[in-house]
Structure 1
Amino acid sequence: MPHIIETQPDRTDLPLVVMPTVFDAMIEPFRTNLPMLHDIARVRMYTDRTSDEETLLARTADADAVMVIGFHIPDAMLNRFCGFDGGTGHVRCFAFGGTGVASYINMTKTRERDVRVCNIVHYGDHAVAEHTFALILELAREVGRLDAEVKAGDWTGAEGYALHGKTLGLVGFGGIGQTVARIANGFGMHVAAWNSHVDPTVANALGVELIDDMGDLMERSDIVSLHLPLLESTAGIVTATQLNRMRPGTLFVNTARAEIIEPGALTARLLRGDIRAALDVYEREPLPMDDPLRTVPGIILTPHVAWRNDEAYVSLTKQVVQSVASFFTGGDFNVAN
């Protein structure tokens, strides 16, 4: 049986907030922040990991709000959570522990059902930026492969790819993109960014060149890195036409969301075999064993972990709890829909 952490269990006059699953490393940061809900809501937190829909639904059967940590909510599951289509739940608020919530829950349907969805902001700018550069460096210097070869007795080595002097093209220039730019400056790289609602003052301060056309940016860059949030306006915004303008030898990194790319376009581009890529996000997660991305030569794949580090967890957990407290006290903190 999973361990359950509860607060104010006798206060049945208060609404119930359920966290049906959680990452181990988040348990203590959440426990630290739960006092913010004192006299506002009861909390029931399950401390194990599960993605089984029936288990998640059973654990939240009497919940008024759900903290969503690391699981997707398909439409049928959403209806059962909220008492539609024969469902018995009565959830009226989902507090999502991340950004890009549109890839986890149908925002149109939550609006139609008057169900609040909250996400969090700027909690992992440094975490994602650092992972972005971990992927860039792995593509450039192949440390993981070389480590395995040396341990196997192979001293052949490999030729490195210099970052100094190369052009890094950023598609997306919010908190994460700006942090990536600062790191790139330390490597002596030239940084350019797609000019979509970018504050030129910020770009100038970081020495970043703004380019109006995304395709031009991709064609001129040695390394392309995506940092757009997933919104209704950004879904599929990176098209096959733009990806096809990347020159042979370009390095491509995505730590944002797969859904900002036209469906199937990235796989088709990578299977041409003339660019190398490192990905942390996918159209289907977990990545199926038969996904053609697994067959791309030299590709680096990580399991959607760019956002996960100790610093990010502190901000993430606080914002999730604040979102729930705001919902029950009539506020609008971090409302996503």
Structure 2
Amino acid sequence: MTQVYETQAERTDLPLVVMPSVLDSMVEPIRLQFPQLHDIARVRMFEEFTSDEDAIASRLRDADVLLVGGYHISDDLLRRITGHGPNGADEGHVRCIVFCGTGVASYVDLDLAREFGVRVCNAEHYGDHAVAEHAFALMFELIRHVGELDKDVKAGNWAWKGGDGLQLAGRRLGIIGLGGIGSTVASIAKAFGMEVGAWSSHVPEALFERCGAEPVADMNELIASSDVVSVHLPLIDGVTRGIITAEHLEHLRPGTLFINTARSEVIEPGALLARLQRGDIPAGLDVFDHEPLKSGDAICQIPGIVLTPHVGWRTDGAFRELTRQMVECVRAFLTGGECNVVVHE
């Protein structure tokens, strides 16, 4: 039976905040934040993860604010929970959606939310270190094969036949997108003794200097001159969606490591798969065109690449900061303020 956590259940005069589905790792961190809503809102959290739309809609029937994470809100579900479905307000009246992440545009139709007069909020920079560290975890698996070596040793195979490792020190890292995560990656890379170049638009020149990255104005030039290419662009419709094209990927030299812990949608559809299928680019990917991946997916059949299930952001520190921001967004909405507003109501 689903455990339901509630605060101030008797205060029916207060607006209701509902989290209808939650990742196990978020339960305790967000519980610790809910006291910030004392005398501001009631909270109801269903302590299981589900993406079943009927279950989510049912749990949100009386909600004023939705805390969402880990699943997509279809247009149909958005209509239902905001009172714009066939059953009108009887099915829902959510006025604010708070997303547990930055790239909310990948999970909710923002234009439709705007049409319905629903505020949408996200979280910012909560996972800069988490995702940056995961990018290096992928790099190290590609160059040192720690997972494979562990299996070999435990199986009694001491002699490594997979070839010697590579070192990062002295190699050049090309970063596409020098925001919070990209600049953190640059700083870590410098500490490892790497040369760092970066292509990024709309960031101050001082940021390049602060994290030790050389600005490169042409993405093709950056890619062609790098031993490792790491993508850290946010997904912004009309700006970064598909910004990395098949033509850009043609500039990857054989043997170049390609890392993506950002969003798959920043790459032209089909372009990365086609490039990797040539078999000469080791890649580490945490994001994909279709999630979750199926075992028969074409990208799973390519040798020499490492795949992880969109977990780069999932660390204890990231969860603490993420849940703090989520609750602050709720508090601001219900007290007349603003916090991380992506769509105004």
TM-score class, shorter: over 0.9
**Using the alignment, how far apart are the partners of 2:221 and 2:17 within structure 1?**
48
- Residue identity in the other structure for 2:44: R
The one-letter code sitting in structure 2 at the alignment partner of 1:196 is: S
Q: Per-residue deviation at 1:14?
A: 1.4
Q: Is the 1:195–1:213 contact (alpha carbons within 8 Å) kept by the matching residues of 2? A: no
Find out whether 1:293 has 2:310 as its counterpart: no
Give deviations 1:18-39, integer Å, cap 9, x for gaps. Answer: 0011122222221111111112
Deviation at 1:198, TM superposition (A): 2.6
Letter in 2 for 1:252: F
- Residue 264 in structure 1 maps to residue 270 in structure 2: yes
Q: 2:283 aligns with which of 277, 288, 292?
A: 277
Question: 212, 225, 230: which one pairs with 1:220?
Answer: 225
Tell me which residue corresponds to 1:172.
177
Asked whether the 8 Å contact 1:96–1:120 carries over to 2, the reply is yes
Contact 1:64 1:93 in 2 (8 A): yes
Query: Do the aligned partners of 2:184 and 2:211 also contact (CA within 8 Å) in 1?
Result: no
Cα RMSD (Å): 1.2
Residues of 2 paired with 1:325 and 1:98: CA distance?
17
Query: Between the two proteins, what is the percent identity of the paired residues?
Result: 56
**SS of 2:151 mapped into structure 1:** helix
Alignment of 1:71-90 (within 5 A): 71-87=71-87, 88-90=91-93
Q: Is the 8 A contact 2:187 2:212 kept in 1?
A: no
Instruction: Select 2:101's aligned residue among 98, 101, 126.
Output: 98
* Offset from partner CA, 1:32-51 (integer Å, 9 cap, x none): 11111112211101111222
- In structure 2, C-alpha distance between the alignment counterparts of 1:2 and 1:85, rounded to whole Å: 27
Q: Secondary structure at the match of 1:79?
A: helix
Q: Tell me which residue corresponds to 1:22.
A: 22
Write the distance in 2 (CA, Å) between the matches of 1:195 and 1:131.
Answer: 21
For 2:58 and 2:289, how far apart are their aligned partners in 1?
A: 28
What's the CA shift for 1:289?
2.6
Residue 235 (1) aligns with residue 217 (2)? no
CA contact (8 A) 2:176 2:198 kept: yes
> SS where residue 236 of structure 1 aligns?
coil
Contact 1:40 1:328 in 2 (8 A): yes
| Structure 2 partner of 1:36 | 36
1:6 is aligned to 6
Of residues 256-265 and 74-83 in structure 1, the stretch that sits farther from structure 2 once superposed is 74-83
Report the counterpart of residue 308 of structure 1 in structure 2. Answer: 314
How big is each residue's C-alpha offset from its partner over 1:143-178, in whole Å with a ceiling of 9 and x where there is no partner?
A: 111111222222331310121111100011111111
Q: How far, CA to CA, are the matches of 1:321 and 1:269 in structure 2?
A: 42
How far apart are the structure 1 equivalents of 2:304 and 2:271?
A: 18
Within-5 A mapping of 1:96-175: 96-157=99-160, 158-175=163-180
Q: Distance in 2 between matches of 1:289 and 1:195?
A: 34
- Give, in whole Å, the separation in 2 of the partners of 1:150 and 1:133: 23
Q: How many residues are aligned here?
A: 337
Query: Equivalent residue of 2:336, what SS?
Result: coil
SS of residue matched to 1:336: strand
Q: How big is the shift at 1:131?
A: 0.7
- 2:206 is matched with 201
The CA deviation string for residues 297-326 of structure 1, in whole angstroms up to 9 with x for no partner, is 111111111111111111111100110111
**Which TM-score applies when normalising by structure 2?**
0.95
Answer yes or no: is the 8 Å Cα contact 2:279–2:304 preserved in 1. no
Q: Could you tell me how far 1:216 is from its partner in structure 2? A: 1.4
Aligned to 2:73, what secondary structure does the other structure show? coil
Three-state SS of the structure 1 residue aligned to 2:341 is: coil
User: C-alpha separation between the residues in 2 aligned to 1:13 and 1:206?
Assistant: 50
Cα shift at 1:333: 0.6
Give the Cα separation in 2 of the matches to 1:287 and 1:80: 28
Q: Which runs of 4+ in 1 moved over 4 A?
A: none
Give the aligned partner of residue 55 of structure 1: 55
Question: Shift in Å at residue 202 of structure 1?
Answer: 2.0
Given that 1:124 and 1:312 are in contact with CA atoms closer than 8 Å, whether structure 2 keeps it comes out as: yes
Is the CA contact 1:101–1:230 (under 8 Å) kept in the aligned structure 2?
no
Q: Give me the whole-angstrom Cα distance separating, in 1, the residues matched to 2:137 and 2:107.
A: 26
Q: Which amino acid aligns with 2:168?
A: L
